[in-house]
Structure 1
């Protein structure tokens, strides 16, 4: 009798139907050579036991395997390092699904370099996940991969005009609006200037966050004036110098919104200026540095996306696309988290 505490196998079906495993295999795969009465008995056993095929086992038995590649940015971005770690753990899970993966690093701020790297993946991979720059040459490279039969998902930053199959990340316009609402409420009736520091506005996620932030500040907080956004290339050193300049040139500076990485440099410059507790500082991604600055009261809020969820989602979605399985939208939706000092996990 089948042990109902474990998943039924075709061997269990054969035992239950009192036929050979070869007969069950013929019935299951719709091959001829089995009498109608036996087919009926085997199909009844499949239903009775609730047999569901193990997709990984089927791929292994049929010699089917997939090759995936993940392209992440170079540099010292702490969030991207977290994402890389989660992808490496997802690679271990994918290996059990008969999927072999590579993880590569590329300068995503350089559209030409990223496009060249993407084109070099042509014909080598069934599934590709990439943190992408929204640029025509990158779009064309993604389209060429899709035309060649690869499944492509963008991670964190999207190229919506491309033929990529899915974007895995948060609603970045909503994230920017959320940051603006928090900024306005923290500042209450206070008037003044707000500095905005992005990594690169060529990155779709950074451009969308800026758009959402500008929408809310412009329409709901007329006493707050946004300074022209500056781009720090997600470098702590560059963001430190930009912050020093913002503080030096704007005595009425009341807030800083960090759209990308480089929060460490911003915090260090604020501490150095002696104004770390009277300038509202809001940024993105919960890392070891942003956690520390929240605890110290230097950062007021962090808008976060779960890098582990994104890595697992990318692995599941690519596998589903390659194997013809259904993508569960609710499972793959990446939500926006808001962390204050009071609710740190």
Structure 2
């Protein structure tokens, strides 16, 4: 609850501002732990808040400790079930965070739009001490990152990084290795050593997707030279687009033996497979969610690669609150029907 509510018998925020000799906006920033207040002013406002009874002794003591970080999490909007799950987990933390824990806010911005991401980074840096985000490989994003870092806001990328930017830690998988693992599984599980295999992605603008593609292609070329790789289709992690792409793949390649979805929203692919009775295909995808769990159970999917969302969030927050501790790559979880948690 914000401390600008009117409560009978207690001073209001305007009373605190007048007693401390500051503007109402400054008093609001101090009490609601926003940036933009000098430390000397912050301490003065808190002292007065205790003196006039705006804050209890216990609250004043907690506020007097080191101010927790303001952290914004920016996630791509869309129909990707894993991203929705990740957003739900962040919002759960928002509801239960204590007064001296990082203050979290979560926002969804237009997916695969570099301009929207750059604008979001700049806009939220006015409040945030740190921002956690999915990166898009684009010059306007890099320019925004430079500006935000120069303004003193820390940045951490999750799942998909920005490349060689030493000031930004990344929390995620070794995605080239992930792609090679998918290639190995698909090649071993395929019903034939010859035929076509297909790749579906969200977008190559996500480094994580292009790295998984590169790893997959290198493994297939190395170990399964008789498998023919059909060029990647970009479905923007949209179930309807992935559905249409899969139907096109069935028309394009009568000898299709497997599909690897390097991105999300696998439900569109499984829908097409069920409609066309193509359950004999090997299908590997990402993100253990309700739809992929069901697909594993009914045999439409063979394997799901996953990153634990809670560990992902924990590591990203720690990168901001303890920047001297370098994050390790996450462990890849691979689920089959028989080892579902």
Q: Which residue of 1 aligns with 2:140?
A: 137
Q: How far apart, CA to CA, are the structure 2 residues paired with 1:120 and 1:210?
A: 33
Pairing 1:221–2:224 present: yes
Q: How far apart, CA to CA, are the structure 2 residues paired with 1:68 and 1:75?
A: 22
Residue 118 of structure 2 contacts residue 144 of structure 2 at CA under 8 Å; is this kept in 1?
yes
TM-score normalised over the length of structure 2: 0.78
TM-score normalised over the length of structure 1: 0.77
Q: Which residue of 2 aligns with 1:341?
A: 337
- How far does residue 164 in structure 1 lie from its aligned partner after superposition? 4.4
- How far does residue 343 in structure 1 lie from its aligned partner after superposition? 0.7
Q: How far apart, CA to CA, are the structure 1 residues paired with 2:175 and 2:283?
A: 18
Larger radius of gyration: 1
Q: How does 1:1-345 map to 2 (within 5 A)?
A: 60-62=63-65, 64-92=67-95, 94-162=97-165, 164-187=167-190, 189-276=192-279, 278-321=280-323, 326-327=324-325, 329=327, 333-345=329-341
Residue 140 of structure 1 contacts residue 162 of structure 1 at CA under 8 Å; is this kept in 2?
no
Counterparts in 2 of 1:160 and 1:328: CA distance versus 1, 3 Å: closer
- Per-residue CA distance 1:133-175 (angstroms, 9 max, x = gap): 1111111111211111111000111112335421011111111
- How far does residue 73 in structure 1 lie from its aligned partner after superposition? 0.8
- How far does residue 229 in structure 1 lie from its aligned partner after superposition? 0.4
Residue 253 of structure 1 contacts residue 279 of structure 1 at CA under 8 Å; is this kept in 2?
yes
Residue 173 of structure 1 contacts residue 208 of structure 1 at CA under 8 Å; is this kept in 2?
yes
- How far does residue 203 in structure 1 lie from its aligned partner after superposition? 0.5
- How far does residue 92 in structure 1 lie from its aligned partner after superposition? 4.6
Q: How far apart, CA to CA, are the structure 1 residues paired with 2:316 and 2:98?
A: 14
Counterparts in 2 of 1:309 and 1:98: CA distance versus 1, 3 Å: closer
| Aligned structure 1 segments of 4 or more residues deviating by more than 4 angstroms | none
Aligned residues: 282
- How far does residue 125 in structure 1 lie from its aligned partner after superposition? 1.3
Aligned residue for 1:184, secondary structure, equals helix
Residue 137 of structure 2 contacts residue 206 of structure 2 at CA under 8 Å; is this kept in 1?
yes
Q: How far apart, CA to CA, are the structure 1 residues paired with 2:223 and 2:291?
A: 31
Counterparts in 2 of 1:211 and 1:59: CA distance versus 1, 3 Å: farther
Q: Which residue of 2 aligns with 1:40?
A: none
84-93 vs 132-141, which deviates more?
A: 84-93
Residue 93 of structure 2 contacts residue 104 of structure 2 at CA under 8 Å; is this kept in 1?
no
Residue 91 of structure 2 contacts residue 105 of structure 2 at CA under 8 Å; is this kept in 1?
no
Residue 142 of structure 1 contacts residue 163 of structure 1 at CA under 8 Å; is this kept in 2?
no
161-170 vs 298-307, which deviates more?
A: 161-170
Aligned residue for 2:231, secondary structure, equals coil
Residue 192 of structure 1 contacts residue 223 of structure 1 at CA under 8 Å; is this kept in 2?
yes
Residue 154 of structure 1 contacts residue 164 of structure 1 at CA under 8 Å; is this kept in 2?
no
Residue 86 of structure 1 contacts residue 312 of structure 1 at CA under 8 Å; is this kept in 2?
no
Residue 94 of structure 1 contacts residue 315 of structure 1 at CA under 8 Å; is this kept in 2?
no
**Runs (5+) with no aligned partner, structure 1:** 1-56
- Per-residue CA distance 1:68-116 (angstroms, 9 max, x = gap): 1110111121100111122223335654434322211111301111111
What CA RMSD, in Å, does the superposition of the two structures yield over aligned residues?
A: 1.9
Residue 156 of structure 1 contacts residue 169 of structure 1 at CA under 8 Å; is this kept in 2?
yes
**Runs (5+) with no aligned partner, structure 2:** 1-59
Counterparts in 2 of 1:220 and 1:126: CA distance versus 1, 3 Å: same
